[in-house]
Amino acid sequence: MSCVESVMAITERQKQMVMDSFKKVEPISEVAADIFYTKLFHYDPSLKTLFKSDMKSQGKKLMAALKLAVNTLNNLDALVPVLQKMAIKHVEYGVKVEDYTPVGNALINTLEEGLGAEFTPELKAAWVDTYKVMANVMRQAAYPNFKPDTFKNSKRYHH
């Protein structure tokens, strides 16, 4: 699947749901960032050493980048190059292709905790698809051997 095809895999309804729900997370973004990193470092404690700056400012950057990405879902021509550049910077931070899996799980499970009953199965599927698209665009840009259809993460994580 090419970048553009995989981006097209999100429906208009899903985009709208993701954008609307992110607005509800924004007011609690500091707490959400805390929950996110606690989960991430529980799933894979080895990732801690990659983060050199303080977690509060890191959390802010993460939420700001997610906000930009979510708000740009309607303008993919602009979003794809931003994600590609970001992914290449992440290689310099020491991020490996498999690390997108625990990050995705931490993100989805943080939203689940933050939004409670509002995080319906349909909304969850919309976020999973959105993250997959973003992670696929990023991994394709940063890891030459990465193929979205055949990638299998063989690393094991804590639950």
By the criterion CB under 6 A, which residues form the site for ligand HEM? 47, 50-53, 58, 61-62, 65-66, 69, 86, 89-90, 93, 95, 99-100, 103, 134
Q: How far is the CB of 16 from ligand HEM (least distance, A)?
A: 19
Judged by CB, which is closer to ligand HEM: 84, or 117?
84
User: What is d(CA 4, CA 148) in angstroms, rounded to the nearest whole number?
Assistant: 13
Judged by CB, which is closer to ligand HEM: 66, or 123?
66
Q: How far is the CB of 40 from ligand HEM (least distance, A)?
A: 7
CB 96 within 8 A of CB 145: no
| Helix runs in the chain, H state only | 3-8, 12-25, 29-43, 55-71, 76-92, 100-115, 121-142
Judged by CB, which is closer to ligand HEM: 1, or 65?
65
CB 72 within 8 A of CB 18: no
